């Protein structure tokens, strides 16, 4: 049996998992009707999506991680009260409340699962990837997290435990990846370039310095 720990918080929040495809279909249909009636500008929708995917989202989280790497006092604050620490950088809004930061270390790697959109901190990580909301990802990550990570290209030492956190609408997680070696002297902006969305979910690691440039 693999050496990992699963933290489930109010597992009943996930009883709508099997209705995701139906809900997505309803949203698509509604968008189509609104656009056909001229009530919604397709360009406006695209702009919102782009903002959350590339501007508001992962870059905000990357700045939080980079500051935690650079500033021990901020890292300590992030551990104690992630919601307040993140808000101090101006990152608040949709699903950005009730945050908890979990820090990767040599002995422990953290992985976050959830299948409800309300469990994902949009203001910090942007739009949730499709696979993140899939029931198969959550169930497999809980049962075989090491195998799931391997499929993402992440191979961890057998001595490193994996802790799986079940995000809910009441508590959302941000993984703080380990700071890569060879980053001494780099600015926070440079460090932020090494932080990917997947590394803040736990399905990836921070990039090596040469990869982030």
Give, to the nearest 10 degrees, the angle between helix 20-36 and helix 42-50: 140
Q: Is 108 helix (H, G, I), strand (E, B) or coil?
A: strand
**Could you say which of 88, 119, 123, 187 is catalytic?**
119
- Residue 117 among known ligand-binding residues: yes
**Could you say which of 21, 70, 88, 114 is catalytic?**
114
**Could you say which of 21, 70, 88, 117 is catalytic?**
117
70 tagged catalytic: no
> Using CA of residue 202, residue 14, residue 139, residue 108, what is the dihedral sign?
positive
- Residue 167 among known ligand-binding residues: no
CA distance 51 to 66: 21
- Residue 123 among known ligand-binding residues: no
**Could you say which of 21, 70, 88, 118 is catalytic?**
118
187 tagged catalytic: no
Yes or no: say if 185 and 63 are a contact pair by the CB < 8 Å rule.
Answer: no
CA distance 47 to 41: 10
Q: Please state the residue numbers annotated as binding site for Fe(3+).
A: 114, 117-119
Q: Please state the residue numbers annotated as binding site.
A: 114, 117-119
Q: List, by residue number, the catalytic residues.
A: 114, 117-119
């Amino acid at each position: 049996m693999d050496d990992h720990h699963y933290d489930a918080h109010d597992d009943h929040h996930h009883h709508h998992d099997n209705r995701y495809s139906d809900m997505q279909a309803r949203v698509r249909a509604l968008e189509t009707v609104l656009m056909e009636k001229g009530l919604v500008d397709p360009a406006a929708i695209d702009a919102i999506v782009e903002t959350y995917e590339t501007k508001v989202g992962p870059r905000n989280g990357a700045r939080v991680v980079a500051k935690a790497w650079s500033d021990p006092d901020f890292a300590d604050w992030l551990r104690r009260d992630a919601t307040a620490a993140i808000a101090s950088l101006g990152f608040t809004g949709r699903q950005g409340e009730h945050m908890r930061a979990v820090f990767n270390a040599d002995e422990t790697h953290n992985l976050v699962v959830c299948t409800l959109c309300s469990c994902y901190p949009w203001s910090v990580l942007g739009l949730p990837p499709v696979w993140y909301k899939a029931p198969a990802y959550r169930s497999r990550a809980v049962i075989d997290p090491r195998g799931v990570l391997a499929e993402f290209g992440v191979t961890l030492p057998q001595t490193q435990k994996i802790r799986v956190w079940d995000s809910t609408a009441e508590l959302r997680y941000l993984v703080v990846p380990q700071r890569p070696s060879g980053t001494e002297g780099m600015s926070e902006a440079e460090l932020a370039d090494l932080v990917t969305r997947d590394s803040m979910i736990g399905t990836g690691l921070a990039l090596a310095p040469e990869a982030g440039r």
